Amino acid sequence: DTEVTQTPKHLVMGMTNKKSLKCEQHMGHRAMYWYKQKAKKPPELMFVYSYEKLSINESVPSRFSPECPNSSLLNLHLHALQPEDSALYLCASSQASQGNPTGELFFGEGSRLTVL
Amino acid sequence: AQSVAQPEDQVNVAEGNPLTVKCTYSVSGNPYLFWYVQYPNRGLQFLLKYITGDNLVKGSYGFEAEFNKSQTSFHLKKPSALVSDSALYFCAVRDYGQNFVFGPGTRLSVLP
């Protein structure tokens, strides 16, 4: 069982909709991640929050907007998406590195997004 | 820049036989290496990691991996494959910050 919880598991939205993906962890991890994964491909990093501050943004289009309200929660706000944004969106967490990057990533089960 | 290669898209093995899924890496500095497994429509599950110490690392579900610094490899192994091991396997390397770089993945099929 994963200790990273993602909701919703499935989401279908039109290109004009606004929706949000949510992620929660209670392992005390201070680094949280959003990944996008297409079928049979590796996860692609989108954003990383470290100590609730955005530390990595992999040139993601502005129609994806991350938010980290506190150390346990991570949101991904979606607006005006395109059909090619349809994918599995994975949240993950890890111990923050602080110069000692030995912790592994813990993944949620993902949110399957379909954009019509 | 860190990179990871998995030279085989697909590995087929008969149930009960040993399996190997290959991974090679390129890093500057010490490598922090990980293996993950993904079942259909699921998230990635952590199997094992190499940080330092013994070159043979043991992990979940009977998997192990051998770190070889001279060959820059970190191959995943299991002495006796199960049909339930059939899945997508990813090798990954972590840099000194928060970034994990994943290999392209290898699909393992264990045939009954």
Look at residue A50 and tell me whether its pLDDT is greater than 70. yes
Q: Which B residues in the span 24-53 are in contact with A, Cβ-Cβ below 8 Å? A: 32, 34, 36, 41-46, 49, 51
Interface contact B34-A96, CB threshold 8 A: no
d(CA B109, CA A93): 29
State the pLDDT at residue A98: 63
| Cβ pairs A/B, distance under 8 A | 72
Residue A2 is predicted with a pLDDT of 58
Instruction: Return the percentage of chain A with pLDDT > 90, whole number.
Output: 78
Whether the pLDDT of residue A99 is over 60: the answer is no
Residue A113 has pLDDT above 70, yes or no: yes
Nearest to A92 by CA among A39, A38, A23: A23
A108–B102 C-beta distance less than 8 A: no
Question: Taking 80 as the threshold, does the pLDDT of residue A56 lie above it?
Answer: yes
Cα-flanking dihedrals φ and ψ of residue B92, to 5°? Answer: -145, 155
Q: What residues in chain A have their Cβ under 8 A from chain B's Cβ atoms? A: 2, 4, 6, 31, 33, 40-43, 45, 48, 50, 55-56, 88, 90, 92, 94, 96-97, 99, 101-102, 104-110, 112
Count CB atoms within 10 A of the CB of residue B7.
Answer: 11
Residue A63 binned pLDDT confidence (cut-offs 50, 70, 90): very high
Q: Residue by residue, what is the 3-state secondary structure of chain B?
A: CCEEECCCCEEEEECCCCEEECCEEECCCCCEEEEEEECCCCCEEEEEEECCCCCEEECHHHCEEEEECCCCEEEEEECCCCHHHCEEEEEEEECCCCCEEECCCEEEEEEC
Which of 56-95 (B) contact A at CB < 8 A? 88, 90, 92, 94-95
Q: Answer yes or no: is pLDDT of A112 > 80.
A: yes
According to DSSP, the β-strands at B10-14 and B106-111 are parallel
Using CB atoms, which residue from A88, A101, A110 is nearest to B97? Answer: A101
The answer for residues whose C-beta is within 8 angstroms of residue A12's C-beta and 6 or more apart is A113, A114, A115, A116
pLDDT at residue A5 greater than cutoff 60: yes
Tell me the nearest-neighbour CA distance from A97 into chain B, angstroms: 6
Q: How far away is chain A from the Cα of B82, in angstroms, using its nearest Cα?
A: 20
* Residue A103, both tokens: 């912790």
Beta carbons of B50 and B65 less than 8 angstroms apart: yes
| Cβ of residue B5 closer than 8 Å to a chain A Cβ | no
Task: List residues bridging with B102 in a β-sheet.
Answer: B92
A33·B98 Cβ contact <8 A: yes
Contact assignment for B46 to A106 by CB distance below 8 Å: yes
Could you list the pLDDT tens digit for every one of the 112 residues in chain B?
Answer: 789 999 999 999 999 999 999 999 998 888 899 999 999 989 999 999 999 889 999 999 999 999 999 999 999 999 999 999 999 999 999 877 778 899 999 999 999 9
Q: Grade residue A7 by pLDDT with cuts at 50, 70 and 90.
A: very high
Q: How many residues does chain B have?
A: 112
A56 SS3 class = strand
**Coil, helix or strand for A11?**
strand
Q: Per the structure block, which two tokens stand in for B60?
A: 């979940």
A65-93 pLDDT tens trace: 999 999 999 999 999 999 999 999 999 99
Query: Contact A96/B98 with Cβ under 8 angstroms?
Result: yes
